[in-house]
Amino acid sequence: MEFADILHRCFRCGYCKFPNNYQDFNCPSYSKFRFETYSPGGRMWVLRAWLNGELKTTPRLAEILFSCATCGNCVEHCVFPKFKDDILHAFLAAREEMVNQGTVPPAVRDYLKALQVHGNPYRLPAGERGKWQDGLGLELYSGQEYLFHAGCVGSLDERGMKMARSVAGLLKKLEVSFGILGTKENCDGNEALFLGEKGVFNSLVERNIQEFQSRGVKKVIALSPHAYHAFKNDYPKNSYPFEVFHYTQILAMQSKKLMGLCSQPGLRITYHDPCYLGRHNKEYQAPRKILKSISGLQLLEMGRVKENAFCCGGGGGNFFTDLLGSGPESPARGRIREAAETGASILAVACPNCAKMLEDAAKAENLEGKIAVKEISELIQEHRAEGIA
Amino acid sequence: MENLFKELAQIVGPSYVSNQPEERFIYSRDPGTMEPREPDFVVLPATTDEVRKIVLLANRRKIPLVPMGGGLVLSGLSRALKGGIVLDMKRMNRILEVNEKSRYALVEAGTSQGMLQAYLKKNHPTLKHSVPDSPPMATIGGNVLIHGSGHLSHAAGFHSDMLNGMEVILPTGEVVKIGSCSTSPYWFGRAPLPDLAGLFLGWFGTTGVVTKLAIKLYPNRPYQDVGVFVTEDPELVPEVLYQAAGVQVAEDITAWMTPKPDWAKGFQHININYAADAPEELIWKRNLIRASLKGLISRKVGGFLPLPPPMKKNFLEAPQTTLAQFADVRKGGGFEYVGGIMPIDLFPRAYRAGIDIAARQGTTYSTGARIIGLGHCMMFFFAYPFNRADESDVDRARRALEETNREVLEMGGIPWKAEAPAQKQIIGRMDPHTLALINRVQSMLDPQGIMNPGNWEVR
């Protein structure tokens, strides 16, 4: 297995479980399951034992492996600079092994099967992909400055579609030149890659590159930080180079047009950094810049933000497989409680996965009356002063 | 066994009990060199009542019970030497009370050092607790119970000296309060009552399960500094420690000696950390410390090292994150160490012993010491890195560990948080009446012999 040579170098000191101020556990799977096996260090040692033949492949081992949300907190906080960057790579290599053995958890198998057969995890026909934008009057891509990529969640999930409509609608009002692919859009493949299915990922890369190349796409706006990450970091640079932006980066560029927005006085907001925008790609400022453009708004930061943000639990395929999803100790429920403790009445998000995970968590925690989960563009649209854009 | 699983699941919920091979594997070992010993079950209790029910069940079934905190002692104390149940206490991590004026915190035993540190910083920024140099995952309960030490140990002694009181589940299931909390709603200390804390401190979980404890807090002064005194002569170090400690202004005094990097080889470095409420006070304290060592400086046998800012920042950090990196010296994820508790006079002998043992075992080393109290004693550590993937290297570190334990005892020290073989070495030298008393206490408290059997085994 690739990266197997780093597994024995983990001391299991546990710095990887924490944010830098140690306020609480910051590894989503450890935080939920609380057995050492579900911590990054435990996972390293268990994997080594598996490769050495000391442990067999079992459903438990598969759950340990696939419940990692790939949030990157362990990479960020590991104190061993010589191998920390490869911790996640090792977990992904192990997932790949399990995919090849055919021993993944049923939920992972079902996700990958749906993606392979239907091109999306919702098992919906391609014709459904463009419906999210019905009535918005968006143009199909035909040489505009940007291609807007809604992704599977933005195109096919009810909450994601609401967000995609809001973001695309705002971009249109701000006169950003963009088009969409509608039914021709493909999954970006981030989840397939992070679930260890490189074959499916590579075929999605090929289809996307072909589509982009044939239409001459030079710049892509990704709705989802997961797609942003995949396009930016995991697509081969040599085949067809294109620039990629997360939508908050585009909105931040338009912040002058947003300066006239105003909230009701004293509106208190907190912001949740999505792992694939923040920790994985170090973009912490763009979303905050947009929020700060709304005058009268008070940004109350949680204790765990930016490189220390606590994942909602939806990364690494867990949004679909739900290995971390249920119960009061689920990461999303922990995160919504933390958000509510700031005294904010709104939790702003910038990722369709986070939006759904945290909205569901607010319901489960009976916090809906106290804190509302809103995506950044939805917030802006609500507070759009007349005449702006 | 299936029935036992069901009974445990009824107590803690099915999500928090496991007899799966993966958990049995990971809880059979710690990061040190001790051979793995598999538990039959791992259980994660969340409340005192759950612990009490588990203890009663274990008692009824005569099943060994091994309490575990952070699992970072490196000497395998939370391995299930005779099978049974490992109780991972880290779900019991609530911070229950901070009394600002009386400067104490009441926490559940599985509260991590890091969480208490963060909680105090956020909610009581003028207070701090003595943070050990173990990673932040180490628990408050575990560290107090093994007589740990930390960044305020020069000022206030072992962490067990900073204990105000405890809630303990006895091996027979009774919930007992130790200290002022037994009689008063406050957890202010152990005096003036008969001090029963000694029945549980240093016993490695063989006399009960501690579920709550109160520890002393100290002023968190905003201005901090560190001076590093350096000498090439180990014989001088006891004098350095005696003089620097005698001033009584330092919070922490530690020594470190390492053959790498090259510039550090052959030097004895003594870090003196101090803190103040105002810049003038900091300068005054610095001057007092320097004055205490003036004689040595004027004899040109030692002096203060100019510290580059990154190094100073590192020395002021609690815990020092760089310490764990020693585990990767041999690119192998491990180090083993003996902490010998001993008088500071033994410093030169301990230092030489560490170098000799490392040379004999063909390994590298790092040695150092933390001064406890005003130099009343020290915890002298001998650390040997090893490559976990190379069994012969692990053996080398294990042999170095055994030899160091013998040497520490030979010179008059006592190995700290001793692993089971080292406990046997200690027992072999112990006064027979002391042994008999330990035996009587164990038999009285734990008639079934269920608590962490294989440790302090004198029966």
The answer, yes or no, to whether residue B100 has pLDDT greater than 70, is yes
Quick one: pLDDT band at residue A295, thresholds 50, 70, 90?
Answer: confident
Question: Residue A388 has what pLDDT?
Answer: 45
Number of residues written out for chain A: 389
The answer, yes or no, to whether residue A58 has pLDDT greater than 60, is yes
Please give the CATH architecture assigned to the domain spanning A120-252: 3-Layer(aba) Sandwich (3.40)
Question: Residue B331 has what pLDDT?
Answer: 87
**DSSP H or E segment with residue B384:** strand B377-387
B225 touches chain A (CB under 8 A): no
Q: Mean pLDDT over residues A61-70, rounded?
A: 98
Give the domain B322-418 fold. Vanillyl-alcohol Oxidase; Chain A, domain 3 (3.40.462)
* CA distances (Å), origin B429, targets B379, B413, B414: 20, 11, 10
pTM for the complete prediction?
0.96
Query: Using a CB-CB distance cutoff of 8 angstroms, which residues of chain B are in contact with residue A18?
Result: 114, 136-137
Question: Residue A224 has what pLDDT?
Answer: 98
Interface of A with B in 39-58 (CB under 8 A): 42, 45-46, 49, 54-56, 58
Give the domain B2-90 fold. 3.30.43
Question: Residue A263 has what pLDDT?
Answer: 63
Please give the CATH architecture assigned to the domain spanning B93-219: 2-Layer Sandwich (3.30)
Question: Residue A297 has what pLDDT?
Answer: 87
A61 touches chain B (CB under 8 A): yes
The candidate with the shortest Cα–Cα distance to B375, out of B247, B234, B227, is B247
Q: What is the mean pLDDT of chain A?
A: 95
Question: Residue A389 has what pLDDT?
Answer: 41
* CA distances (Å), origin A178, targets A132, A170, B234: 16, 12, 73
Inter-chain touch A37–B26, beta carbons under 8 Å: yes
Domain parsing of chain B, residue ranges? 2-90, 93-219, 223-318, 322-418
The answer, yes or no, to whether residue A106 has pLDDT greater than 80, is yes
Inter-chain touch B20–A21, beta carbons under 8 Å: no
Query: Using a CB-CB distance cutoff of 8 angstroms, which residues of chain A are in contact with residue B325?
Result: 79-81
Q: Which of B121, B135, B389 is facing A13, going by the closest CB pair?
A: B135
Query: Using a CB-CB distance cutoff of 8 angstroms, which residues of chain A are in contact with residue B36?
Result: none
Which of B43, B137, B391 is best to mutate for the A interface (most A CBs within 10 A)?
A: B137
B260 touches chain A (CB under 8 A): no
The candidate with the shortest Cα–Cα distance to B403, out of B448, B453, B340, B447, is B340
The answer, yes or no, to whether residue A262 has pLDDT greater than 70, is no
| pLDDT tens digits, B300-311 | 999 999 999 999
| pLDDT tens digits, B19-71 | 999 999 999 999 999 999 999 999 999 999 999 999 999 999 999 999 999 99
Number of residues written out for chain B: 459
Give the domain B223-318 fold. Alpha-Beta Plaits (3.30.70)
In a 3-state reduction of DSSP, which class is residue A84?
helix
Q: Quickly list H helices, chain A.
A: 28-33, 40-52, 59-66, 73-77, 87-101, 106-118, 151-156, 158-173, 190-194, 198-215, 225-229, 247-253, 255-258, 285-292, 318-321, 331-341, 352-364, 376-382
For the structural domain made of A255-382, what CATH number should be given? Answer: 3.40.50
Inter-chain touch B137–A9, beta carbons under 8 Å: no
* CA distances (Å), origin A264, targets A261, A379, A384, B98: 10, 12, 11, 38
A141 touches chain B (CB under 8 A): no
Which of A22, A58, A301 is best to mutate for the B interface (most B CBs within 10 A)?
A: A22
Distance between B22 CA and the closest CA of chain A, angstroms? 7
**DSSP H or E segment with residue B66:** strand B65-68
Question: Do B383 and B366 form a contact (C-beta atoms < 8 A)?
Answer: yes
Distance between B94 CA and the closest CA of chain A, angstroms? 11
Question: Do A71 and A278 form a contact (C-beta atoms < 8 A)?
Answer: no
Question: Cα(A349)–Cα(A357) distance, rounded to whole angstroms?
Answer: 11
Report how many Cβ contacts below 8 Å link chain A to chain B. Answer: 112
- Cα A232 off chain centre by: 14
Contacts of A11 (CB under 8 A, 6+ apart): A41, A80, B31, B324, B327, B328, B333, B334, B335
| pLDDT tens digits, A296-321 | 889 999 999 999 999 999 999 999 99
* Percent with pLDDT over 70 in chain A: 97
Domain parsing of chain A, residue ranges? 4-104, 120-252, 255-382
Inter-chain touch B135–A15, beta carbons under 8 Å: yes
Same fold, A120-252 and A255-382: yes
Name the residue of chain B whose CA is nearest to A45's CA. B26
* CA distances (Å), origin B45, targets A29, A35, B93, B94: 18, 11, 11, 13
B42 touches chain A (CB under 8 A): yes
With 0-12 CB in 10 A as exposed, 13-18 as middle and 19+ as buried, what is B362?
exposed
Contacts of B356 (CB under 8 A, 6+ apart): none
Q: Quickly list H helices, A130-270.
A: 151-156, 158-173, 190-194, 198-215, 225-229, 247-253, 255-258
Q: Mean pLDDT over residues B408-431, rounded?
A: 97
| pLDDT tens digits, A237-246 | 888 999 999 9
Query: CA A226, A67, A313: angle at the middle one, nearest 5?
Result: 50
Helix then strand then coil, in percent of chain B rounded to 5, is 40, 25, 35
Question: Residue A311 has what pLDDT?
Answer: 98
Question: Do B136 and B114 form a contact (C-beta atoms < 8 A)?
Answer: yes
Query: Using a CB-CB distance cutoff of 8 angstroms, which residues of chain B are in contact with residue A15?
Result: 135-137, 321, 324
